[in-house]
Amino acid sequence: MTDTLLETPLAALHRELGGRMVPFAGYTMPVQYTPGIMAEHLHCRTAAALFDVSHMGQAELVGANGTQDAAAALEKLTPADVQGLKPGRQRYGLLLNETGGIVDDFMVANLGDRLFLVVNASRKHIDLPLIEAALPAGVRLRTLPDRALIALQGPGAVAAIETLFPGVAALSFMGVWQGDGLVVSRSGYTGEDGVEISVPAEAAEALARRLLALPGVLPAGLGARDSLRLEAGLCLYGNDIDETTSPVEANLVWSMGKRRRMAWDFPGAARIRDELDNGAQRLRVGIRAHGRQPARQHTEIHAGGAAVGEVTSGGFGPSVNGPVAMGYVARGHAADGTPLELMVRGKALPAAVAPLPFHPHRYAR
């Protein structure tokens, strides 16, 4: 099966740097380098880590009358306020189905003359045709398979890239800079300050080498990316959100624009409105076990001996020096501090609902 896997433009560089390559979302990707996942995770928290996220789907929406037509078209599929997105700004949104389930989460940026989209690797074959089917005459979806995506994350990331591309440091969180064929957003998936850089595929390796040559920058793989986003309380599609999960259950109502929640003109609005008015049956929560044993995905969550939910993401949090997890529990057990038991290998491990994130976000506000 390995010969059917795709490779990103940085695959050769990963191997040169000693990356351990594994299959992920149809690609061969580095899960870690020689220092190991914990060292890469902690380096991102203290300096700067470079991640290859070129497997993500990139696309542009172009309207005949500028971005407003494109934004109005995208709003047919999402409760995000895309029309209110100003040039040079980016926003997180959810694609929804007719029953209010999450088809995917995505990022959208207003580049002035077009909208720039980033969707998940495992869902781009679903998302992009879904968006294209919703477009009216005069609005076009242009996929960008010839672009790579590099994330530089950590407290030293922006100061480092500013030496190469002056102007990036002036961005606030979710701001977007364009220049030298790049689209740079001050965003990421680690909870740290940092940037994501869309770059032409043929220029990706040279750019990655320039970034890795900067003081304090080291490569990091999928393993550290996952533990960082878990500590930051960020959802992973397919684990924490899917087509059965609503934005209310997932505690992602903040991604729905106020104007959209007044009009209720998006897919699944009836279910979402009902859950906002009457409460969802289950909610995504953070969970801290009292011991050192991590609880992984699909671990049953009990309260008082009865099953009340399931872990969707779990592992060891290097920055908090202990196990962390997220999962869904029945609404009556979702308050912070609620005692729970995690059924790990037949044993009930004491735990409690904990506030998210586990590690504070350090975005540039």
* 169-184: average pLDDT: 97
Arithmetic mean of pLDDT, 301-305: 96
Instruction: Find the mean pLDDT for residues 350-360.
Output: 98
The first and second tokens of residue 90, run together, are 């980016």
**Is the predicted pLDDT of residue 1 greater than 80, yes or no?**
no
- Average pLDDT taken over every residue of the chain: 97
DSSP state of 272: H
Confirm whether pTM is higher than 0.95.
yes
- 180 half-sphere exposure, CB direction, 13 A CA radius: 12
Q: Which domains does the chain have, with CATH numbers?
A: 47-205+233-279 (3.30.1360.120), 281-365 (2.40.30.110)
> For the CA atoms of 293, 348, 288, 238, what is the dihedral angle to 10 degrees?
90
Confidence of residue 365 (pLDDT cuts 50, 70, 90): confident
Q: What whole-number distance in Å separates Cα of residue 104 and Cα of residue 97?
A: 10
Query: Which residue is it, tokens 């609404």?
Result: 331
Q: Long-range contacts of range 165-174, CB-CB < 8 Å, 24 or more positions apart? A: 168/195, 171/364, 172/364, 172/365, 173/363, 173/364, 173/365, 174/89, 174/90, 174/91
Structure tokens at 299: 């671990």
Residue 179 has pLDDT above 50, yes or no: yes
Q: If you compute the radius of gyration of the chain from its CA atoms, what whole number of angstroms results?
A: 20
Looking at residue 66, its pLDDT comes to 83
Task: Name 351's Cβ contacts closer than 8 Å, sequence gap at least 6.
Answer: 287, 288, 289, 290, 295, 301, 325, 339, 340, 341, 342
Q: How confident is the model at residue 3 (pLDDT cuts 50, 70, 90)?
A: low
User: What are the backbone angles phi and psi of residue 232, rounded to the nearest 5°?
Assistant: -80, -5
Query: What is residue 146's three-state secondary structure?
Result: coil
pLDDT at 359 over 60: yes
DSSP conformation class of 81: -
Cβ neighbors of 346 (< 8 A, separation 6 or more) are none
pLDDT for the residue numbered 65: 84
Compute the average pLDDT of residues 96-119. Answer: 98
pLDDT of 109 reads 98
**Confidence check: pLDDT of 295 > 50:** yes
Q: What is the pLDDT of residues 11-50, one digit of tens each?
A: 999 999 999 999 999 999 999 999 999 999 999 999 999 9
- The letter for the amino acid at 143 is T
Q: Specify the pLDDT at position 81.
A: 98
